[in-house]
Structure 1
Amino acid sequence: MDTITIWELAVLAAAAALVGFSKTAVSGANTVSLAIFAAVLPARESTGVLLPVLIAGDVLAVLTYRRHAHWPTLWRLFPAVAVGVLAGTVFMMWADDAAVRTSIGAILLMMAGVTVLRRRAAAAAADAGAGGGGCAASGADDEPPSVRSRAGRIKARSYGVLGGFTTMVANAGGPVMSLYLLSAGFRKLGFLGTSAWFFLIVNSFKVPFSVGLGLIDTRSLLLDAALILFVVPGAYLGKVCVDRIDQRLFERLVIGATALGGLQLLLR
């Protein structure tokens, strides 16, 4: 991190702005930021640098959607997520930069596949809603029945462990949890509010582990202090553009960029 050039810093700043944009416009777009950080910085250390940037974006998302979280679902997820974070911490204790780079590349490719499934599930849910006259939006006080069932609890634990592991190793839990919330039946406001609080709490929970692993230190925080400045304009741009962009095209570009980033890390 002592040898970052001005051009690399500019690329990291653009990636930080994309984090803010993803939090207010297109969830999952920050997987591209993950690939950029891992390509510019040593892969292992990049996860520690990116974490405070993500937390800054999470704060902006919570300020926007804080009243729409469904807390029973969050409390159900957190124990499984904690197990996944602990498993990811153990992995990071012995993994060198090459292992982390390979893991991030593989996780990015997996996340690209998860995002494709998420988009198909969302399209199917939209078609079902249109055919059945629509259904009530799930918000802070309206939990989908599928979440309360035994199968729903098992699914929550499975997604929670996987989300905790991927977010600890590669800050890439977003697509996993987005897929879970969509498959559970959450609609727009419930999805955004629950997701915003989930990532703020989980990413904050990861900080002591990242410090203990040496991923966050004084030098990384100095770099974060510069990069976080770009999260706010990125979030503002997202709010301005969210109703104007072609969502389908943009998600295709995000999936493609994520897959390319994963391949680049695997072949590096």
Structure 2
Amino acid sequence: MPELTWIAWVALAVGAVTVGISKTAIPGANIAVALFAMVLPAKPSTAALLVLLIVADVFAVVFYRRFADWRVLRGLVPPVVVGLVAGAVFMSRASDALMARVIGVILIAVIVLGLVQRHRAQRREAAGGGDRVPQGRGAAVAQRAFYGSLGGFTTMVANAAGPIMSMYFLAVRLPVTVFLGTSAWFYFVINLSKVPFSAALGLFSTEMLLIDLVLVPFVVLGALGGRWIVNRISRDFFEWSVIVLSILGAVYLLVR
């Protein structure tokens, strides 16, 4: 077992709890990414976190498997695959510092774009445009390609696709339960597909897996707690929680 201070273990435990919560209540939270990167070496921390994310994904799929929008998921497959491959290539060549700053810039840009889109949608609704405004096919394809490729890239290099994909799911106005179900299946499949890439990059080690073994119960605690929370929060609180936590995660990646 790696020798870590008790403060480091507390930080990792908090991160593990938030992993569980992010899968069953508030997607997009990157607090765990920040905490793991602060305590562990940056690149190996992504592999350690990936294992815990997959554990939490299982809970999310079990809880919300019936609510996924498969039309949205099928459309995301091609651009996400492109992003995953690009991310693996980038990760094999870039330094930790460069990787974090590039991702931070991307996340900030996407969050700002998502806020602008959200504001415009609310203005249309206030003007009587309905809850969901039809979108041209070309615009929809471009939006899906943009978010999907960036989501694939950032999830590969830092497990940080939460802000990007959350903004996309908010942009297409998925109801809360459908948002959670679609996110659950998306991350479960994507995170499993990242395992061979991370293994090929030599990011898994006995030490990291032992840390994961200790932290799994905290992930379970967070997942069960998130299930309790999601039935007690409003849509507005849900959306703003996603946005605020996404901004915090992006800022950390930019300044770390």
CA distance in 1, matches of 2:89, 2:22: 29
Letter in 1 for 2:100: I
Q: Name the stretch that deviates more: 238-247 or 18-27.
A: 238-247
Letter of the 1:104 counterpart: A
Contact 2:91–2:99, Cα closer than 8 Å, also in 1: no
Shift of 1:80: 1.7
Q: Secondary structure at the match of 1:28?
A: coil
Q: How far off is 1:199 after superposition?
A: 0.8
Task: Please name the residue that 1:71 is paired with.
Answer: 70
1:172 is paired with a residue of what secondary structure? coil
Is residue 44–residue 101 contact of structure 1 (8 Å, CA) maintained in 2?
Answer: no
Task: Give yes or no for the alignment of 1:33 onto 2:29.
Answer: no
**Mapped contact 1:100–1:169 kept (Cα < 8 A):** no
Q: What is the identity, as a one-letter code, of the residue corresponding to 1:63?
A: V
On the 8 A contact 2:163/2:243 being kept in 1, the answer is: no
Deviations 1:133-175 (A, max 9, x none): 8548xxxxxxx954x8233223222322111111101111121
> Structure 2: how far apart are the matches of 1:153 and 1:249?
26
1:217 to 1:68, Cα distance in 2 relative to 1, 3 A: same
**How big is the shift at 1:104?**
2.1
Distance 2:170 2:242 in 1: 16
Preserved CA contact (<8 Å) 1:65 1:196: yes
Tell me how far apart the structure 2 counterparts of residues 126 and 120 of structure 1 sit (CA, whole Å). Answer: 10
Match of 2:187 among 196, 199, 224: 199
Residue in 2 aligned with 1:16? 16
Q: Please tell me whether the aligned partners of residues 73 and 182 of structure 2 are also in contact (alpha carbons under 8 angstroms).
A: yes
Query: Partners in 2 of 1:150 and 1:252 — Cα distance?
Result: 26
Identity within the alignment, %: 43
Matching of residues 1-268 of structure 1 within 5 Å:
2-29=2-29, 31-95=30-94, 99-122=95-118, 124-126=120-122, 128-129=124-125, 132=128, 134-135=130-131, 146=135, 149-242=137-230, 243-244=232-233, 247=238, 250=241, 254-255=245-246, 257-265=248-256
In 2, are the aligned partners of 1:112 and 1:258 still within 8 Å (CA)?
A: no
- Contact 2:33 2:158 (8 Å CA) reproduced: yes
- 8 Å CA contact retained: 2:80, 2:150: yes
Alignment deviations for residues 76-118 of structure 1 (CA, whole Å, 9 cap, x no partner): 21122111111111122223xxx22332244235424533543
Per-residue deviation, 1:204: 0.6
How far did 1:25 drift? 2.1
Q: Structure 1 residues 214 and 114 mapped into 2: Cα distance closer, same or farther (>3 Å)?
A: same
Between 61-70 and 197-206, the greater mean CA deviation after superposition: 61-70
> What's 1:139 paired with?
none
1:15-48, CA deviations, whole angstroms, 9 ceiling, x for partnerless residues?
A: 110111122222211x111111111111111111
Distance 1:235 1:249, change over 3 A: same
Query: 1:241 & 1:62 partners in 2: Cα distance?
Result: 17
Code of the residue aligned with 2:96 in structure 1: it is: V
The Cα of 1:262 is off from its aligned counterpart by 2.5
Query: What's the CA shift for 1:131?
Result: 5.0
How much does 1:186 deviate? Answer: 2.9
Mapped to 1, the partners of 2:107 and 2:142 lie a distance apart of 21
The 3-state SS of whatever aligns with 2:88 is: helix
- Rounded Cα–Cα distance in structure 2 between residues aligned with 1:69 and 1:247: 18
- Deviation (angstroms), 1:187: 3.1
| Equivalent residues of 1:21, 1:237 under 8 A apart | yes
Q: 1:82 to 1:255 in 2, by over 3 A?
A: closer
User: Which runs of 5 or more structure 1 residues have no equivalent in the other structure?
Assistant: 137-143
TM-score (norm 1): 0.82
